[in-house]
Amino acid sequence: MSTPQKLYEGKAKNVYTPEYDQEYLTYFKDDATAFNALKKGTIKGKGEINCTISSALLKLLADKGIETHFLSQTSEREMLVKAVKIIPLEVVVRNIAAGSLCKQTGLEEGLTLPFPLVEFYLKNDDLGDPLLTEDRLKILNIATSEEIEELKNKALKVNQYLRDFFANCEIILVDFKLEFGKDINGNLLLADEISPDTCRLWDSLEQDTEKRVLDKDRFRRDLGKVESAYQQVQKRVLTLIEKLGNT
Ligand code: UDP
């Protein structure tokens, strides 16, 4: 087997080109960044947890008919995926007000939104990942009207499924970020990862507003017990998946 070539070094993952064309190998790191990489750190074991949770969730979504880049989890920290060209967008879906939505609009954290809000942010660190309007998306030639509709519909479908899934793990899916890419045939696939790095997850069994946080906000806001929160999410996700597999 030829040595994989590193294609890209990201903040939380590296991407390698393995043996076959049209496949990438992603390696999940323990490195954590926040606030546009101004804050840097390490979350011990995060790579394994995020790779395992993402693999499980992407597989579940694929079973629900949502096309994803996931092929297989090849080791604790490695995921084999279909090669895609990532669309430079962070597609954010929100069920409950938190984070930048509260900062930018003054909405109170924890407010349940009247409908799931889909937002597009430009993936560009130098520009600070600005929020885009649909017309800006078209002017920047990132997506056509049809593609914007397709992205929105797919993101909402993912939300519907994941919100129910997490609810069955006693976890509230507050918001999350998705990335999409196009394969060699131009098919739009859900890509990247779905993990406590990219979702806000609140323990529905916990009322305390700090203790309930089971995601990267523990790192962003120096809340402590980051590793155990990630472990807790993994445990609940894998337990439910096992239960679903047995029914
Ligand atoms: N998010 C992400 N990567 C980013 C920005 C946001 O995964 O570069 C996720 C974040 O974890 C949250 C959701 O997208 O689940 C919405 O994030 P928000 O816009 O509130 O930004 P934040 O204030 O968290 O940076």
Q: For 92-151, how does the pLDDT look when each residue is reduced to its tens digit (9 = 90+)?
A: 999 999 999 999 999 999 999 999 999 999 999 999 999 999 999 999 999 999 999 999
Q: Is residue 1 scored above 70 in pLDDT?
A: no
Which amino acid, 115?
F
- Ligand 1: which atom is nearest the Cα of residue 36? 8
CA distances (Å), origin 138, targets 17, 76, 151:
31, 39, 13
Among 128, 212, 134, smallest CA distance to 170 is for: 212
Give the three-state DSSP class for 201: strand
**Core vs surface per residue 85-120: b (16+ CB within 10 A) or e:** eebebbbbbbbbbbeebeeeeeeeeeeeeeebebbb
Rounded CA separation 50/56 (Å)? 10
Q: What is the pLDDT of residue 4?
A: 77
H-type alpha helices, the chain: 46-63, 99-105, 134-139, 145-167, 217-220, 226-245
Which of 31, 117, 177 to mutate to test ligand 1, by most ligand atoms within 8 A of the CB atom? 177
Give the distance (Å) from ligand 1 centre to CA of residue 149.
21
**Do 232 and 214 touch, CB atoms closer than 8 A?**
yes
Residues with a CB atom less than 6 Å from ligand 1? 90, 92, 98-101, 129, 175-177, 198-200, 216
Q: Is residue 3 scored above 80 in pLDDT?
A: no
Average pLDDT over residues 34-62: 97
Q: Long-range contact list for 160-168, CB < 8 A, 24+ apart?
A: 161/60, 161/61, 161/64, 161/66, 162/57, 162/61, 162/194, 162/199, 163/95, 165/57, 165/60, 165/240, 166/201, 167/204, 168/240
Give the distance (Å) from ligand 1 centre to CA of residue 198.
6
Q: Is residue 202 scored above 70 in pLDDT?
A: yes
Q: What is the pLDDT of residue 20?
A: 76
First to last CA, the chain: 39
Give the distance (Å) from ligand 1 centre to CA of residue 23.
27
pLDDT one-digit tens code per residue, 7-40: 999 999 999 997 778 999 999 999 999 999 999 9
Q: What is the pLDDT of residue 19?
A: 74
Q: Is residue 2 scored above 70 in pLDDT?
A: no
Give the three-state DSSP class for 12: coil
pLDDT one-digit tens code per residue, 60-109: 999 999 999 999 999 999 999 999 999 999 999 999 999 999 999 999 99
Which amino acid, 24?
Y
Q: What is the pLDDT of residue 221?
A: 98
- Ligand 1: which atom is nearest the Cα of residue 216? 11
Which of 198, 201, 214 to mutate to test ligand 1, by most ligand atoms within 8 A of the CB atom? 198
Bridge partner list, 137: none
Give the distance (Å) from ligand 1 centre to CA of residue 60.
23
- Ligand 1: which atom is nearest the Cα of residue 35? 25
* % of the chain residues with pLDDT over 70: 99
